[in-house]
A and B are shown apart, each in its own frame.
With several copies, the nearest count.
Chain A
Amino acid sequence: MISKLETKKDEYPRPVEGERQAFMYGNEVVVWAALAAGAECLYGYPITPQNEVMHYWSRLAPDYGGKFLQTEDELSAGFATLGGIMAGARCFSATAGPGTILFQEPLAMAEMMRIPIVLVVQQRGGPSTATVIYSQQEVFLTIFGGNGEGLRIVYSPGSHQEMYDYTLKAFDVAWKHRFPTLVLGDGYQAKMRERVLLYDPAARGMEIEPTVPFVGLPGVPGVDREPAHWRNAFSVEEELYEELEPIINDYYRIAPSLMEKEEGYLDGAELILTGHGIVGRAVRTAVKELREEGFPVGFFRPLTLRPFPGKDLIRILDDCPRLLVVESAQGQLAKLIRISIGGELDHRVQMYPYFRPGLGISAEELVEEAKAILNGKREQKQEKEFSMSML
């Protein structure tokens, strides 16, 4: 019989002591956040632009009792991660592009069985192999990619600091609520280097939900306790429905507490700019710049893409029915927005697309675009383009 869980020993040093300023690459930030959150195993398969998550982890983690395995593909990586989690270890993985596709199979299993997997996705260009660089084209895949209802939590950070904060948080949220939790970065965030403040969550009084094993529990099964019998297959419709309903209800019960967003400069705004992730940052910078120049614009930046903070956006659009949606994809964020607001408003919303699938977007170009809209240079054609992309 197993007397106790062989989790990380206390003799290992804490990965982050107190607080520490650093100038880091994004993939490195992910690794430090995972270590600070007490992550124990990374099972993964290389893919650009997340490779360095594996490089740093495989180098650093052993010093903190962490384990690493490079598997034969993403299916193996994902399912091994589920196995490790069910054994009671805090495991996570990272992937991108075609790897994110293959990860949908284990994510679907996690959704059904409430396995708290944390996955970092560093988006690259798509569809297919496309580019190894950057895009925001994995939004729908990350949220709805499985053969189910997208019962996942998806964070979209926009800076290294948020990458650290939300990766830490992802582990907490995943284990607290038992839904797959994804941190959606991109190739820019992965490969760029900027300031970040690392901190020990404990030193800040943050508690991270402890792990609990699904299998290998203490006691002799069938004698001291019931055996743990976990499954994801059901025979009849009603059986599945009964299994699924409470999961869905749980998800929507906790959803309001999970939604996060940032908004600003809304007072008197005549145009709202919105974007998520690294683009959200360009949006914020552009709005600041525009306000300084006296243009009446505000911004809305969703930090959770799932659940989507749509109620807040509805409130904003109630006052200001003009929205510029900015993304490095062909309207994936726009679709999330339309899902939230569809039929909920008693007036039309003029929506302007700034869709650049696979292309980076700078604050400068947004300043220009916003000015063009405010100056009435972007009406018919743009709106039509927007609606088209929504079919």
Chain B
Amino acid sequence: MKSMPDSWRRETKPHKFCPGCGHGLVLKALGMAMDRLKIADRTVFGVDIGCSLLAWDFFNADTIQTHHGRTVPVIIGAKRARPNLVGIAYMGDGGGYAIGSQHLINATMRNDRILIIIVNNTIYAMTGGQMAPTTLKGQKTETSSRGRDPKYEGFPLRGPEMVASFAPEGAYVARGSVSHVQRLARYLERGLENQLQDRGISVVEALSTCPTNWRTNAEDTWKFLEKEMTDYYPVGELVSPFKRDTQKEAADLETCH
């Protein structure tokens, strides 16, 4: 197994994420998918504002660091102008479900041929740990110091489920987790394949970690991700235009962590 996907740019490593940050793992999964499909040379990788911006020089792939919540339109604009490009819009849960949610909704409706990756770390990480749409019930953040209260702040948003509810034909929607990097890589690969085959939009949420703002050690980081988050946010494919290959899936499950 390669520790570093070929599409990673070694010159810019170590990357700029904190110790233990899940972004590194999501990008590892993405790198694996890009390696497998050999598309780094025609990819436009768009990163949002949020910790995802730290990936502006992450890949050996042309990259645009955009504005908070605006990566989806930037990538759509590029993709529609030059359909042979592979468009990837990479963002946090704040960028995807709060300030950029109109773009997510309307891109899904239009079935834009891009891959949207939303990193769900239940928090606004870059700005120092405020509540996100994905913050869990009772979870304490800088702007929910008494814990998120559903009465005033609502229940956490399950983004892929929402997208799936009206995802058009040809769309691919899944939720992976950095605690299963290979499975996440598979989802991302399918999302990209879907785009390569001009079928429809792909939206993949990745459950991720933010030890810095969670203030967790390694043990609690994994626990929060694998227990609390995964309980509320089930991992799996929600909508897929691919024929299910159950054998392959079983094999996946074995090798996935």
**B73 adjacent to A67 (CB under 8 Å):** no
Flag if B144 contacts A109 (CB, 8 Å). no
* B49 lies within 8 A of A129 (CB): yes
Q: Is B57 at the interface (CB under 8 A from chain A)?
A: yes
When distances are taken between beta carbons in the complex, the residues of chain A under 8 Å from B62 are 214-217, 221, 227-229
Interface string of B62-104 (1 = CB under 8 A from A): 1111111110111111111111110000000000001101110
Q: Which residues of B contact A87 (CB under 8 A)?
A: 44, 77-79, 81-82, 85
Which residue from B59, B74, B105, B130 sits with its C-beta under 8 Å from A83?
A: B74
Output the residue of A67, A68, A82 with the most chain B CB within 10 A.
Answer: A82
Task: Find out whether the CB atom of A231 lies under 8 angstroms from the CB atom of B65.
Answer: yes
- Which residues from A are CB-within-8-Å of B128? 46, 48, 51
Closest-CB distance, B66 to chain A (whole angstroms): 7
Q: Measured between alpha carbons, how far is A230 from B59 in the docked complex, in Å?
A: 12
Whether A2 pairs with B84 at a CB distance below 8 angstroms is yes
Asked, given contacts A79-B70, A215-B44, A233-B65, whether A6 binds B130 with beta carbons under 8 Å apart, the answer is no
CB pair A46–B143 under 8 Å, yes or no, is: yes
Chain B residues with CB under 8 Å of A45's CB are: 98-99
Collect the chain A residues with CB atoms within 8 Å of residue B155's CB: none
Determine which of A2, A70, A84 lies in contact with B81 in the assembled complex, contact meaning CB atoms within 8 Å: A84
Q: What residues of A have a CB within 8 angstroms of the CB of B131 in the complex?
A: 70
Chain B's nearest CB lies how many Å from the CB of A220? 4
Q: Of the candidates B42, B84, B105, which one forms a contact with A72 in the assembled complex, judged by CB atoms under 8 Å apart? A: B105
* A59–B78 alpha-carbon span in the complex (Å): 22
> Judging by beta carbons under 8 Å apart, are A221 and B41 in contact?
yes
In the assembled complex, B142 has its CB within 8 A of some CB on chain A: yes
Query: Do A105 and B67 have beta carbons less than 8 Å apart?
Result: yes
Given the known interface contacts A79-B70, A221-B60, A231-B56, the answer about A84 and B106 at a Cβ–Cβ threshold of 8 Å is: no
Cβ of B163 under 8 Å from chain A: no
Question: On chain B, which size bracket covers the interface?
Answer: 35 or more
Q: Complex: how many Å from CA A192 to CA B46? A: 34
A48's partner among B98, B106, B127 (CB-CB below 8 A) is: B127
- Contact code string B121-150 (vs A, CB < 8 Å = 1, else 0): 000101110110100000000111100000
Shortest CB–CB separation between residue A143 and chain B, in angstroms? 21
Minimum CB–CB distance from A354 to chain B (whole Å) comes to 30
Kindly state the separation between the CA atoms of A84 and B74 in the bound complex, as whole angstroms: 7
In residues 26-74 of chain B, which contact A (Cβ within 8 Å)?
Answer: 40-42, 44, 46, 49, 53, 56-57, 59-70, 72-74
C-alpha spacing A54/B143, complex, angstroms: 7
Residues of A within 8 A of B124 (CB): 46
User: Judging by beta carbons under 8 Å apart, are A222 and B40 in contact?
Assistant: yes
CA–CA, A81 to B112, complex, Å?
15
Would you call A82 and B41 a contact (CB within 8 A)?
A: no
Q: Which residues of B contact A69 (CB under 8 A)?
A: 76, 80, 152
CA distance A83 to B68 in the complex (A): 15
Is A1 part of the binding interface, using a Cβ–Cβ cutoff of 8 Å?
A: yes
Q: Which of A80, A129, A220, A232 contacts B40 (CB 8 A)?
A: A220
Interface membership of B9, Cβ < 8 A = yes
Knowing A68-B143, A73-B98, A109-B67 touch, does A41 contact B80 (C-beta < 8 A)?
yes
Given the complex of chains A and B, what is the CA–CA distance between A57 and B136 in angstroms? Answer: 21
Contact yes or no, A227 B63, CB < 8 A: yes
Query: Chain A CB within 10 Å — which of B53, B61, B133, B153 has the most?
Result: B61
- A80 and B130: CB pair below 8 A? no
Contact between B66 and A79, CB atoms less than 8 A apart: yes
Whether a CB of chain B sits under 8 angstroms from the CB of A37 is no
The smallest C-beta distance from A50 to any residue of chain B, in angstroms, reads 10
Q: Is A317 an interface residue (CB 8 A)?
A: no
With a cutoff of 8 Å between Cβ atoms, the chain A residues found around residue B41 in the complex are: 1-2, 219-221
Q: Which residues of B contact A55 (CB under 8 A)?
A: 130, 142-143, 145
Known A-B contacts A55-B143, A69-B80, A216-B78; the reply to A86 vs B67 at CB < 8 A is no
Judge if A136 is at the interface, Cβ distance under 8 Å.
no
Given contacts A70-B131, A227-B9, A227-B61, A83 and B102 within 8 Å (CB-CB): no
Q: Which of A71, A216, A232 has the most CB of B within 10 A?
A: A216
A5 partner residues in chain B, CB cutoff 8 A: 82
Q: Does A272 lie at the interface of the complex (its beta carbon under 8 Å from any beta carbon of B)?
A: no
In the complex, how many angstroms separate the beta carbon of B38 from the nearest chain A beta carbon? 9
- In chain A, what residue has the closest Cβ to B94? A46
**CA gap between A137 and B9 in the complex, in Å:** 34
Minimum CB–CB distance from A55 to chain B (whole Å) comes to 5
**A71 near B73 (CB under 8 angstroms)?**
yes
A75 at the interface (CB under 8 A from B): yes
Of A5, A48, A81, A86, the most chain B CB neighbours within 10 A belong to: A86
Check B65 against A230 for contact (C-beta < 8 Å).
yes
Chain B residues within 8 Å of A59, by CB: 145
Interface CB pairs A-B, < 8 A, 22:
A1-B42, A2-B41, A46-B127, A46-B130, A48-B127, A54-B143, A58-B142, A69-B80, A70-B130, A70-B153, A83-B46, A85-B81, A86-B74, A86-B78, A88-B82, A109-B66, A214-B64, A215-B78, A220-B60, A227-B61, A232-B66, A232-B67
A-B CB proximity, top 7 nearest: A83-B77, A222-B60, A80-B77, A215-B62, A89-B81, A84-B81, A72-B106
Chain A interface residues (CB < 8 Å from chain B): 1-2, 5-6, 40-41, 43, 45-48, 51, 54-55, 58-59, 67-89, 91, 98, 105-106, 109, 128-129, 213-217, 219-223, 227-233
Can you name 20 extra interface pairs (CB under 8 A) apart from A55-B143, A215-B85?
A47-B127, A48-B128, A72-B101, A74-B99, A76-B102, A77-B73, A83-B77, A84-B81, A86-B44, A87-B81, A105-B67, A109-B66, A109-B67, A129-B53, A229-B56, A229-B57, A229-B62, A231-B65, A232-B65, A232-B67
